[in-house]
Amino acid sequence: MSRLLRRLVTPVNNQRNQKPAATRLRYQTSAPQSADKPLMEPKLYQPPSAVRGMTTLDKEAFTQTITVPALRVPTKVLNKVIKSLKKATIQRPGVQRVLADTEDSVAFRLVLLDPHRISSKSSFSESEAEALRSFSVNEELQYQDLKLTYDNLKTEEVLEAVLPEGQDVTSAFSRVGHIAHMNLRDHQLPYKNLIGQVIMDKNPGVTCVVNKTNIIDSTYRNFKMELMAGEENMVAKVKENGVAYEFDFSKVYWNPRLSTEHQRVVELVKREDTVFDVFAGVGPFAIPAARVGANVFANDLNPESHRWLQHNCKLNKVENKVRTFNLDGRAFIRGPVKQQLPALLKEQRNVHIVMNLPALALEFLDAFRGLLQEQAPSDDNLPTVYCYSFSKDDNPAEDVTKRASQILGFCVQDRSSVQFVRNVAPNKDMMCLRFTLPEEVLYSSGEEQEQTETAEEPALKRQKCEETTEST
């Protein structure tokens, strides 16, 4: 026994817990004694230094033996002790915290403790110590050799040990069904296959890991997906707020971080309302709205998004409540929206117009200028617009309101509200501007309408331009 362990191990005086001083408990009896790391070393679980710079995953290289404290607990009170010490027991992936006792496998068990939390019997809190005394458990610690493998390490522990010191380490990803989607930085690219394998190993159900490259490879501004690990199957199946969706993740846009926003807006929609979704994607606004009984007109320019939108309508049995279109957003507003609005306003229907393309949606607001010529008998139920936008301004709510007002040619500050959606990057927020479409904008003379219709279109929009990657 090493000199360190002779200092640490205290003889146990319990009548059934007597043992020679030279006897040592082992989790892996064949492992060498571990005197390399002091018991309370801050990075006790840190993998061996030899793994630094590894680009092809070698799981065996992460194996090491450490020493952890343990308590010898009577079997009859085992469950009560574990419950009382739930914050003090070891918490490691794949590590059993209860082991058989080498002296008496029936009457006692060994409970492994967190070495960063417990270094001596004085480390127990007052309540923990009282519980041990009440259950007649000897508080003197045993010490156990514990063999740690790759399977016992967390994702960030593996990646921090492998990637060069002093560089950012990311283990963050978006989960889309069986797909883990990452945005690697340049210095992480040499390790992309290893990173992908680790993400797949440590996250049950993930069978495909992809990285978004900077290559834009289609008319619809789709980012190419680079396979990092696993099977090249990009057709994902997800559920969001109880609604099922299927789509080819490499050809459409989907952001799981927007589920709360989708639900927030849909909860504002009532049965028999009408919803126009200008940039519908695969349907995260349109389909839930249809499920609550709204009549939905859903549009997307990307043929793949339109195809999966139709598929998801059938999947959720709302195909009779959703009419789908494959048009440019401006053409959708100047076409189906314009055609339907007069009758809806005459019938006093509640109308919601959703414009979730935050990189560009504000630019489409001018399509509402002079959209209708004949004013409805009542303007009590003018359409409500939900327009999403990014802002880098110190006051993002004021910024998006001002920009929208400039494009509409009418100040909407007094008839609008702004909802913070999420922070997408440092000093960059995604906001939702909700406003009632002013009658001064909606109705105008034929001359003004003609000028708006012939206005020059912005360059082709959609689907995943760099800014747009936070939409839908």
Question: Which residue ranges are tagged as binding site?
Answer: 262, 300-301, 328-329, 356
| Residue ranges at the known binding site for S-adenosyl-L-methionine | 262, 300-301, 328-329, 356
Would you call 25 helix, strand, or coil by DSSP?
strand
Structural contact between residues 215 and 172, judged by C-beta atoms closer than 8 angstroms: no
Give the C-alpha separation, 128 to 151, whole Å: 30
Residue 219 contacts by C-beta under 8 Å, 6 or more apart in sequence?
Answer: 460
Give how far Cα 292 sits from Cα of 124, 266, 274, 286, Å: 54, 8, 11, 10
Which of 45, 69, 63 has the alpha carbon at shortest distance from 145?
A: 69
Structure tokens at 346: 């005459």
Region of 254 on the Ramachandran plot (φ > 0 left; ψ -120 to 50 alpha; else beta): beta
Which of 59, 43, 47 has the alpha carbon at shortest distance from 201?
A: 59
Q: Helix 192-202 and helix 155-162: axis angle, to 10°?
A: 160
Structural contact between residues 456 and 384, judged by C-beta atoms closer than 8 angstroms: no
**What does the angle CA 99 – CA 104 – CA 108 come to, to the nearest 5 degrees?**
55
Beta bridge partners of 72: 110
Q: For residues 369-386, b (16+ Cβ closer than 10 Å) or e, as one string?
A: bbbbeeebeeeebbbbbb
Structural contact between residues 158 and 54, judged by C-beta atoms closer than 8 angstroms: no
Kindly report the length of the chain: 472
DSSP at 372: B
Residue 360 contacts by C-beta under 8 Å, 6 or more apart in sequence?
Answer: 458, 461, 462, 467, 468
> How many CB atoms neighbour CB 240 within 10 A?
17
Give the C-alpha separation, 67 to 41, whole Å: 11
